[in-house]
Amino acid sequence: MCDQSCSVAGDTADQDSSVLGETVSPDVLGERGLTLREQYEDGIGNLDDIHESILALREAAELTVDQQEDHAEWLNQLGNSLQCLFESTGDPSIIAEAISVQEKSVKLVAEDHADAPKWLNNLAHAYRCRFEQLGDISDIDQAISATQKAVNSTPQDHVRLPVRLNSLGTCLLRRFEATGDVSAVDGGISALRKAVHITPAEHPRLPSRLNNLGSALTRRFEVTHELSDITEAISIQQQAVNLTSTHHPELPTRLATLGSSLHHRFSVTFNISDIDDAISLQQEAVKLTPEGRIDLPIKLTNLGLSFWRRFGSFQNMEDVDEAISTHRRAVALVSEEYPGLPAFLNNLGIALRGRFSHSSEPSDFEEAISAHRKAVSLTPKGHIELPGRLIGLGTMLHIQFERTGNLSDISEAISTKQAAVAILPEGHSDIPGTVVSLGHSLYDQWRVTRNSDDLKASISNFQLAATCRVGSPREKLDAAMHWARRLCLHEPQSPDVMDAFEGAIRLVVLMSGLERTINNRYVQLQDVSGIPLEAAAAALELGHPDRAVEWLEQGRCLVWGQLHTLRTPLEDLEARDSALAHRLRVVAQRLDSAGSSRAESRVGVPFAEKVTLEDAARAQLDLAKEWEELLTTTRALPGFSSFLQPSPCSNLLECLPPSGFVVIINVDKRRCDAIVLSAGFHEPLHIPLSKFSLKKAKDHLQNMMRRLRLQNLRVREGINIESETVPDRAIGQYRQKNYRDEDVVRNVLSKLWVEVVKPIIDTLGLKKAESATEKPRLWWCPTGPLAFLPLHAAGIYGPGAPENILDYAISSYTPTVSALTSRVQDNGPVGEHISGLFMTSQPRAPHVPPIPGTTDEVVSIYAAAQGAGVRVSKVEGDSLTVDGCLQHMEDFSSVHLACHAIQSAPDPLQSRFRFHKGSLELGKIIQKNLRKADLAFLSACQTSAGEETLSDEAVHLAAGMLAAGYRRVVATMWAISDRHAPAVANDFYQYLWDQRKEDSGGGFDGSMSAHALHHAVQKLRERLVDDSEESLLAWAPYVHFGY
């Protein structure tokens, strides 16, 4: 657990420095003292200047002993110069003298004296400086008392009010850092915010006050984990840096505090530019800070923390080496009496522990445990950071137990961690992490002793951490999963299993909130996407298929679900409260746009642009907060308590298509199951798939992907267009060449049939049918690695008695059940003015192989559409721009895109269709809200391939088209041949033309598109004659999504 007690102190508090008095000699001396100090503070003087300033002001004070007010003034100014010297040297005797002379100056005048607030404020700053060096809580309490008196006695329109508010806010922040008193940081932020608000834009102290406000917001973020706090902090601190001149003495501090805030945000966003920028800023701050400055060790240890954070995420050994080196330097710069030394030692120990976990170097372990022991011994009882340092030591003792097997080590680890838990204040944000750490040690002790009390205590600690009202969602999610997994292993029938997973699903949703960009939501979900599947498996084990369905719906395809929520029609609310509905609609539209279009900060972005990006991030956070407030208001209305809440399973059953079956297949390491929903069912039908497993799914996927790569159906680089190949519509080639192991694809399809599909078919009692109209619809909703396998082509192929799913049903896919039910509910007729088909072919996009078949494909379909009386338009090649295509998508209910496509793994929203003039990206498509869109035929490659690290988010072009509003989409799982694609497309549309009603006019109806694709694929199979691997790979990529 990182020790966070050593955040960089804010700027030196504002100090009043007006000169009073008319006695010539003292005034001359005093003015000289002030001038010398100002030169030093402005960075144009040196340490000799501040020494001379002290001498001049001391003499001025001595010469005015008989003039009470003048004497008080020069004593106070002497105290200010002594403070400046102290901040450079750290000599305790200097700050003690500063406090002494400033206390004397305050006592020399009446409370209602005009200068009393000024002198109180400066006295408070001296107390605060001593507190920051020695850590005596009475000093910061004295500082708060003095600044509060100063603020209370200052008129609201007084020019010095911002100075005193700034001082009060900074003192309250320091008290919070020492005690954990959240009310102190709230009061500090309030005072600092007011100080900034009433400071003129051109005031030289504005950067200082901005920096202090940003620091306070960052500290509160460490407790609340409110993204709005850290985002506002960064934005404010960037303003402070922007307003600070290159040679200003406080620039290093402002760079360091901005870097620290970026570090903290990285801990929740994992945006690599945040941690890279943090390190860069902190390195610059260290470089600009003179040796001997009292705050240099603090800047060093915070730089070390950032190196450690980056190492934790990317495991680059250079980072942990840098962290250790930087922490060692910080430790070496301070004395044994320095109050920050325990924090520096704790952080050094953590970094050494991290390196030991990789290198197993005994010297790292010995130095780490020594550093942790010393950190604990030097930390005073009652110190706010003592629990964290005890946990650091306890963790090292636990590791020592793992090395030696000595029960005394794990016993000491547990007692040390229990001591940490016992002294944590109620409501402290470290409770979840601390309690989880104790739970791990108790569990490992149980594994040796088999004492049931240890096991119960371990599980109880995980439960406590998971249900804690404070702490980061990610920490609590980790606790919830430990709680759930231990229960499943040791108490599988406990009702608490359901509570544990319920909490876990809620936290998964919370981690991907609307305050984030869509891309960052995907980043958050990458390492938690399997949790809903695990939860569903537990629910099925306990006989709750309805809860399994609900958890899969709540925890999968979160981003698409959020987009759907933001685009939900509000007619019912409009009738009840039109103003509320209007505001909801406005906020939803802005959130929708911000999530998909707002750029994120990247490494190398100019500083001015970063400021703009942070402003946009703050605006999105404000919108997200307002959205939640509007939902709360709406749900308080009679009849709207479930407004935009996740649908219970019973509601889903009521909104399914009138015929057919939705088949959810849950794949987890514990078990695999099918859950079938149908409009005729009163509850979900649970079908255990005992022959299937997660390992088999992964093996099948690995074999399939390897085969596709061998056939170059997953390759993305260019090809030699003069070679004897037939171009495909991915960035690769379709090889007509035989390879060994031709049974791989057949074997995968056979296993899927025997182990997954056939048991479902048999349970449902489906029979083979010759006519497509006699076959029921099946909507597959696979999870995990199964989402990348062709269930729609499962079957036995080759000689013997072949059979496959195409003999029994018309297959479609749906990302979630809700994605389908929403289309059923919003299945009204398409307006006559937009009903029609827009088509384009892009045969020669730059930097990719030509696909001339797309031209023939579009020309042929266009002619047939005209012959059938359908409203149709085509724009080809250079004539079509990206914006033009988007406009046509709004003008026509259906679209046919014959072109290259690319699936982008690093940034799924950059998956795109390649045009002659630019690329149509998924991110741009989902910004459209095409509520009355009908069909999208994506005659391109890998348009439903998805991203394996986000298997349950359906991050592919087909799902993007559904999210944009299309009711149904034809897509491909891998590369399709330019030789076969035109025929498949023509057969598909011809089927639709044949099904048209006589009174259709010029309208286009895609409602039979699943049947049309089934028909077109069967026609292709007939032309291919055999069931060779080449034939299977030619027809199996075609898939249908939606209603």
Those residues with Cβ within 8 angstroms of residue 467's Cβ, 6 or more apart along the chain or in another chain: 503
Please report which confidence band the pLDDT of residue 661 belongs to, taking 50, 70 and 90 as the band edges: very high
pLDDT digits (tens, 9 = 90+) for 454-481: 999 999 999 999 999 888 889 999 999 9
Rounded Cα–Cα distance for residues 460 and 483 (Å): 8
**Residue of 334, 338, 403, 337 whose CA lies nearest to 364:** 403
Three-state secondary-structure class, residue 241? helix
Decide which of 546 and 949 is more confident. 546
| pLDDT for the residue 480 | 97
| pLDDT for the residue 742 | 64
Rounded Cα–Cα distance for residues 406 and 830 (Å): 73
Average pLDDT over residues 500-512: 92
Q: Out of 2-11, 129-138, 630-639, which region has the weakest mean confidence (pLDDT)?
A: 2-11
Average pLDDT over residues 610-617: 69
Our measurement of the distance from residue 42's CA atom to the centroid of its chain's CA atoms, rounded to an integer in Å, reads: 41
Q: Out of 80-94, 349-363, 661-675, which region has the weakest mean confidence (pLDDT)?
A: 80-94
Rounded Cα–Cα distance for residues 999 and 1002 (Å): 9
| Contact yes or no for 898/940 (Cβ under 8 A) | yes
> In what helix (H) or strand (E) does residue 902 lie, and over which residues does it extend?
strand 900-902
Token reading at 963 = 């999210």
| Mean per-residue pLDDT of the chain | 89
Residue holding tokens 């100080």?
195
DSSP summary character for residue 769: -
Q: Out of 164-173, 516-525, 852-861, which region has the weakest mean confidence (pLDDT)?
A: 516-525
pLDDT digits (tens, 9 = 90+) for 951-989: 777 778 888 889 888 999 999 999 888 889 999 999 999
Kindly tell me if the per-residue pLDDT of 738 is higher than 50. no
Torsion of the alpha carbons at 211, 215, 217 and 221, rounded to the nearest 10: 150
pLDDT digits (tens, 9 = 90+) for 404-418: 999 999 999 999 999
Rounded Cα–Cα distance for residues 701 and 986 (Å): 31
pLDDT digits (tens, 9 = 90+) for 573-599: 988 899 999 999 898 888 888 766 655
pLDDT digits (tens, 9 = 90+) for 826-851: 887 888 889 999 999 999 999 888 99
What is the C-alpha radius of gyration for the chain, rounded to an integer number of angstroms? 34
The pTM of this model reads 0.80
Kindly tell me if the per-residue pLDDT of 5 is higher than 60. no
Kindly tell me if the per-residue pLDDT of 245 is higher than 90. yes
Kindly tell me if the per-residue pLDDT of 608 is higher than 70. no
| pLDDT for the residue 716 | 23
| pLDDT for the residue 905 | 65
Angle, alpha carbons 930-932-937 (nearest 5°): 75
Rounded Cα–Cα distance for residues 529 and 952 (Å): 6
| pLDDT for the residue 1 | 37
| pLDDT for the residue 6 | 39
Helices and strands per DSSP (H, E), number in the chain: 41, 18
What sign does the dihedral 59-60-61-65 (CA atoms) show?
positive
Pairing mode, if any, of strands 837-841 and 872-874?
parallel
Q: Show the 3-state SS of 467-497.
A: CCCCCCHHHHHHHHHHHHHHHHHHCCCCCHH
| Contact yes or no for 973/1037 (Cβ under 8 A) | yes
Rounded Cα–Cα distance for residues 210 and 242 (Å): 11
Rounded Cα–Cα distance for residues 1034 and 566 (Å): 39
Q: Show the 3-state SS of 643-672.
A: CCCCCCHHHHHHCCCCCCEEEEEEECCCCE
| Contact yes or no for 8/215 (Cβ under 8 A) | yes
Those residues with Cβ within 8 angstroms of residue 526's Cβ, 6 or more apart along the chain or in another chain: 949, 950
Kindly tell me if the per-residue pLDDT of 13 is higher than 60. no
**DSSP for 894-944?**
EEEEESEEE--SS-GGG-EEEETTEEEEHHHHTT---TT--EEEEESSSTT
Pairing mode, if any, of strands 795-796 and 803-804?
antiparallel
Rounded Cα–Cα distance for residues 86 and 31 (Å): 21
| pLDDT for the residue 602 | 54
Residue holding tokens 């993204």?
227
| pLDDT for the residue 518 | 76
Please report which confidence band the pLDDT of residue 16 belongs to, taking 50, 70 and 90 as the band edges: very low
Pairing mode, if any, of strands 935-939 and 894-898?
parallel
pLDDT digits (tens, 9 = 90+) for 252-285: 999 999 999 999 999 988 889 999 999 999 999 9
Question: For 642, what's the count of Cα atoms within 13 Å in the CB-facing half-sphere?
Answer: 4
Rounded Cα–Cα distance for residues 942 and 938 (Å): 10
Average pLDDT over residues 364-378: 97
Q: Which residues pair with 900 in a beta bridge?
A: 914
Kindly tell me if the per-residue pLDDT of 443 is higher than 50. yes
**Residue of 182, 93, 95 whose CA lies nearest to 131:** 95
